[in-house]
Chain A
Amino acid sequence: MSTLQAQRRGAGLTFRQKLSNFDYKFSPYLYISPFFILFALLGLFPIIYTVNVSLYNWDLLKGQGDFIGLQNYATTLSDPMFWNAFGNTFSIFLLSAVPQLVMATIIAAVLDQAIRASTFWRMSVLLPYIAAPVAVAVIFTQIFNQFGGPITGLLHVFGLEPIKWGYDVFPSHIAIATMVNWRWTGYNALILLAAMQAIPRDVYESAALDGAGRIRRFWSITIPMIRPTMIFVIITATIGGLQIFTEPKLFDGQSNGGSNRQFQTIVLYLYEMAFPRRDFGRAAATAWILFLIIILIGLINYGISRTIASQDIKKNVRVPVAGTRRTIGGRK
């Protein structure tokens, strides 16, 4: 490339050569600019402008009002409803992330063997992913129907009292977490499976020849070797999980997170502020608070993963590198 450039810089260039030179220099910028311009306009600008909105009395219909400084933040942070939403979000997040990760790891380990009909099993594992969160929420709302529905029916068969899925706090969180788990476990299992397949087979072979059993190989080889991917899955699950909206919104379509806000999440709280209450200032403050929470947790995750990664290098373990985000579509 550099020789080409040098030649072109020589004297007596024809117009054609100059044009080609210009083409060579500026085309790359032309190719990347649509992305950067559109992203700046439709992704970055709204996030930053959110700060501005949050500093005003701002009504959905009346528009911008008085400048009130950090008042919206103070009101939000002293609102028990916000902390209720905060608690619900983390409760639902933990109830979905932990079982999901455990199940996904087990399924991935099972698929990482010499399974017959592996394409069929992989496709069946991914099947729930094609159901949109709205559809998942509608289906599971009926499965968890407290007045009838298959689960109440099963409980009845075993002579148990029906559980008030739509009313009690903890059961409602379990129902919502189940929706998330059902849709995402298989997806995460495939990501972890990819990481497992990247582990050289001779490591397993020699461990097996040395007498390490299935369980021992899983804990001593598989888990340490897929840890970076695991951390990547955890980070993306966190970013998505803290923004959960659709499932709790649809679980009780008549309210914004239950009659007593038993399962109102932070984004649902934001939605209630912005639209039913028309208070864009408060909604913007909530958005920015959640943004900071997500960034903070992201940084903590990043710090932990770096520490672990550097320890791995010290222990001379080969580290597979995790790459792309799993939230291709985002968990909205």
Chain B
Amino acid sequence: MTTTIDRRPSHGGLHFPDQDERAARKRKARFYDRPGWLSYALLAAFFLGAVFPLWWSFVMGSRVASDINAVPPVVIPGPNFLENVLKAFQTVDFAKALVNSLVISTAIAVSVVFFSTLAGYAFAKLSFRGRNPLMVAVIATMAIPTQLGIIPLFMLVSELKLTNTLGAVIIPGMVSAFGVFFMRQYLVDVIPDELIEAARVDGASMWGTFWHVALPSARPAMAVLGLFMFMAAWTDFLWPLLVLGPKNPSVQTALSALNASGGHTPDYSMVLAGTVVSIVPLLVLFLFAGKQLISGIMSGAVKG
């Protein structure tokens, strides 16, 4: 919060007062961080490593199961992708799973973003008794592995007759300590205190100030937090596995059921085609909002 470290827009973009001096220094400065061919080779290798498993699962998903034994491994897609996807949809209820996961992830993202912005704003910009100890409590809770409370949580959900409903997944995910922390860190820098003071002097209510002053400035951080929460909910497995039955699956429990459907020798092509289907929604999200994800991860690491 206090140590927002100088974040340069690009690598080596140093800030110098004088133009001529700057150009001269820049020429000199450049030599030390000019990447060699080895750097690009490393990145290319890493790129291939990142892409290969995804590409290979698409390739396998578009061929026949026995191609898994091909030597050397297959790398060119075949003609059977749609057929395999269709088989996957017939084996498990993928259509329902996709809708369910969309509902769950959206509900969790909206809820976490709303409650986090509200609390983050209060912690960042309002003064009240006990603010600092309560903020410390929020930070401390981030370190608690709440996943280990699943036994009583499971009992609670059964008691409330929520088993097999989407509510069983949504409700435990409605707030996040990380979210509160994240929004507080963002809002503390981004809203000037004078702006809130001015809104009050003009007679705005506290809620009015939040709604008309804080919320608009919070939008970029809300989008990034929502993105992360959506992805986290979409990829979660253990909890949905416990509370959602096979009749009402999430994408991940459906995929795991698909994987288990053939015993020790499943129809590999069908399973991998289903896997591709489960990844596509986040892949699309990534292609549109990848830059925001990257900036979210990177700002989270630097802002103290």
Contact = CB atoms under 8 A, between A and B. Distances in A.
Contacts of B185: 323-324
Contacts of A195: 301-302
A12 interface: no
Given A154-B72, A254-B260, A246 B181 contact: no
Secondary structure type dominating chain B contacts: helix
A27 B297 CA distance: 31
B102 interface: no
A35 B299 contact: no
A287 B294 contact: no
B54 A127 contact: yes
B86 to A, nearest CB: 18
B216 interface: no
Interface string A285-308: 001101100100010000000000
A37 to B, nearest CB: 9
A106 to B, nearest CB: 7
B29 A205 contact: yes
Interface string A34-68: 11101100111111011011000000000000000
Interface residues of B, number: 124
B197 interface: yes
A180 to B, nearest CB: 13
A316 interface: no
Given A115-B39, A190-B298, A127 B286 contact: yes
A245 to B, nearest CB: 5
B151 A50 contact: yes
Given A132-B279, A138-B259, A325 B178 contact: yes
Nearest to A45: B152
Interface string B285-304: 11000110110011111111
Contacts of B90: none
Contact of A47 (B43, B144, B263): B144
Interface in B191-211: 197, 200, 205-207, 210
A46 B152 contact: yes
A243 B260 contact: no
Contacts of B73: 149-150, 153-154
A280 B154 CA distance: 10
Interface in B1-54: 3, 5-8, 10-12, 14, 28-35, 39-40, 42-43, 46-47, 49-51, 53-54
Interface string B212-233: 0000000000000000110111
A17 to B, nearest CB: 11
B39 to A, nearest CB: 5
A35 B29 CA distance: 48
Contact of B57 (A42, A130, A139, A187): A139
A107 B8 CA distance: 19
B46 A253 contact: no
A34 B121 CA distance: 13
Contact of B72 (A136, A157, A290, A324): A157
A217 B32 CA distance: 10
B34 A114 contact: yes
Contacts of B118: 31-32, 34-35
Contacts of B128: 25, 28-29
B277 to A, nearest CB: 10
B98 interface: no
B99 interface: no
Contacts of A27: 122, 126, 206-207
A42 B172 contact: yes
A113 B264 contact: no
Given A130-B283, A323-B185, 9 more contacts: A36-B134, A47-B148, A139-B275, A150-B73, A186-B46, A192-B301, A284-B152, A324-B303, A325-B143
5 contacts: A35-B177, A114-B11, A138-B275, A201-B14, A201-B29
Interface of A: 1, 4, 20, 23-25, 27-29, 31-32, 34-36, 38-39, 42-47, 49-50, 52-53, 106-107, 110-115, 118-119, 121-128, 130-136, 138-143, 145, 147-150, 153-154, 156-157, 182, 186-187, 190-195, 197-198, 200-202, 204-205, 208-209, 214, 217, 229, 232, 239, 243, 245-246, 249-250, 253-254, 267, 271, 274-275, 280, 283-284, 287-288, 290-291, 294, 298, 320-330, 332
